[in-house]
Structure 1
Amino acid sequence: MAQQATSAPARSAGLGRPIGARPRTVTAVALLLPGGHETSDRRPSPLARAAVRSLGRELARAGRADGLVAHTVHYRVGGWNGAEAQLARDATWAADEVVRRYGDVPVCLVGVDMGGRAALRAAGHTAVNSVLALAPWLPEDDVAAPPEPVRQLVGRQVLIVHGTNDERTDPELSFRLAERAKKANRDVCRFEVHSDGHRLSQHHDEVMALSANFLRGALYGYAFARPLEDALAAPPPIGLRMPLASGFGRTLRD
């Protein structure tokens, strides 16, 4: 993960405008967490936010009839920055802001790249009921540092999706985290998108369909598609290395 030189004016985190048409009554919220850098105090890249907006549009469209609204989180800075875990802090702030704006509604944290790590880390917020992490960036195992925490995932439904050919974020690290998380929380699953890279672009439609199905099930109690239901129920490693089948979205529409 790239590092950027630091230069740091103080800023506040924020929520972008609702993605798409806002429903008359908001009953749940998807918070979109963009990627970032390992170390940076610079202003976050607008390209990172733009990259998650297409995902936000798909999710908002899938849940709008039920009252779902999607917002992109605007970080204070673009870097995780070690123990400061600034992206996770901003995700927690965003969940607080959802409660302030919309009241007691469930939240799904949806993170891409380093935003995936932020989503997983901030899952302990009381408003969060689910986490969707796409190609999450996770730190290398280090005997000198504590492992990435998983206890905050207890009581949440968690889906991790990772391309097997991802050269930017290591899919094996997300498997290891999922393996530890599954011991604490049975409602954890992970899908592998075979031959796909970091952007999951080769199987974009399948990833979007899986994401929308998970979100509607987690936030509104709709039935999960059979592969997702099987992945959540299966013991490790089966449910943590579930292949995402070609045509997944078409199967749901048939």
Structure 2
Amino acid sequence: MAQRLPSAAVLVLHGGRETGAVPPPPGPLNLPGVRMLPFVRAVRRAAGAPDGDVLVRRVRYAHRGWNGGRADPLHDAVTALDALREEAGDVPVVLLGHSMGARAALRAAGHPLVRGVVGLAPWCPPGDPVTQLAGRDVVLLHGNRDRTTSPQATQSLTARARRAGARTCMVTVRGGDHAMIRRAPAWHRLTAGLVAGLLGTRSLPGPVDEALRLPPTAEATLGTLDLDRLGARPHGGPAPAGRR
């Protein structure tokens, strides 16, 4: 019997440092990687990954840092996408990244497999390109108490990307910090629902779906939502027929 190929995939990219030429430490010593494990488990449950229909993989970094123009994690992400294409074919992929990993996910989103990006406390320098996000769904979550990466820069990127042809939305987590420790269950639930929603296996929260449909000229504030106003259910049942 031929092996059944997955219908979709999620690639998870943990955070890192601005500079760092050595590889990340292994296993539990890699704290940014450990931080993403609850998200991996939540995404697997929400997307139906235990049945083998959705692959959930973690991107391995060759270097600990972004390292300026080298943009090392970006190349690791593209390598992982190419390897996934060899393994599973042209499956739709959602990239899920935190901090530096979110920056790499946004930069790698021009890859043909990528359908969307979910970025957690993303690192969004003002000069980073956005044209590669055209035609993609991009949802960025940021805590308003983050002192490591800028919520304002995230909001600016969502507006720039929308003007470039992306469908974008930002969700503010009130009381949320960069490590996503405060209100951790809310981070996990919403992220899992967003990933499943972008893959089409569940419905997106209504306000998120509406924000993704805003016109390119919409103000940044119109595409910025409050987690606590998304409703009691962060994700629902099967996605409605015909959605993108």
**1:117 has 2:100 as partner:** no
**1:160 has 2:132 as partner:** no
User: For residue 240 of structure 1, what is the amino acid of its counterpart?
Assistant: G
Give the C-alpha shift of residue 24 in structure 1: 6.0
Name 2:241's counterpart in structure 1: none
Q: What's the CA shift string for 1:66-86, capped at 9, x where partnerless? A: 811211111001111111111
Give the C-alpha shift of residue 60 in structure 1: 1.1
TM-score by length of 1: 0.82
Name 1:184's counterpart in structure 2: 164
Assess, with a 3 A threshold, how the Cα gap between structure 1 residues 171 and 191 changes in structure 2: closer, same or farther: same
Report SS of the residue matched to 2:219.
Answer: coil
Assess, with a 3 A threshold, how the Cα gap between structure 1 residues 111 and 252 changes in structure 2: closer, same or farther: closer
Judge which range, 87-96 or 62-71, deviates more.
Answer: 62-71
Judge which range, 71-80 or 201-210, deviates more.
Answer: 201-210
The 1-side partners of 2:198 and 2:235 are apart by 17
The 1-side partners of 2:234 and 2:199 are apart by 22
The 2-side partners of 1:252 and 1:105 are apart by 23
Give the C-alpha shift of residue 247 in structure 1: 8.1
Assess, with a 3 A threshold, how the Cα gap between structure 1 residues 66 and 190 changes in structure 2: closer, same or farther: farther
Name 2:31's counterpart in structure 1: 47
User: For residue 101 of structure 1, what is the amino acid of its counterpart?
Assistant: E
Q: Match for 1:149 among 129, 146, 157?
A: 129
**1:242 has 2:242 as partner:** no
Which structure 2 residue ranges, 5 or more long, are not aligned? 238-244
Q: Is the 8 A contact 1:178 1:190 kept in 2?
A: yes
Name 1:135's counterpart in structure 2: 121
User: For residue 113 of structure 2, what is the amino acid of its counterpart?
Assistant: A
Q: What's the CA shift string for 1:209-239, capped at 9, x where partnerless? A: 2222222222126432212123223432234
Which structure 1 residue ranges, 5 or more long, are not aligned? 1-22, 142-146
The 1-side partners of 2:155 and 2:222 are apart by 10
TM-score by length of 2: 0.85
Judge which range, 208-217 or 172-181, deviates more.
Answer: 208-217
**1:171 has 2:151 as partner:** yes
Question: How many equivalent pairs are there?
Answer: 226
Post-superposition, which runs of at least 4 consecutive aligned residues in structure 1 deviate over 3 A?
Answer: 246-254
Q: Match for 1:208 among 174, 183, 188?
A: 188
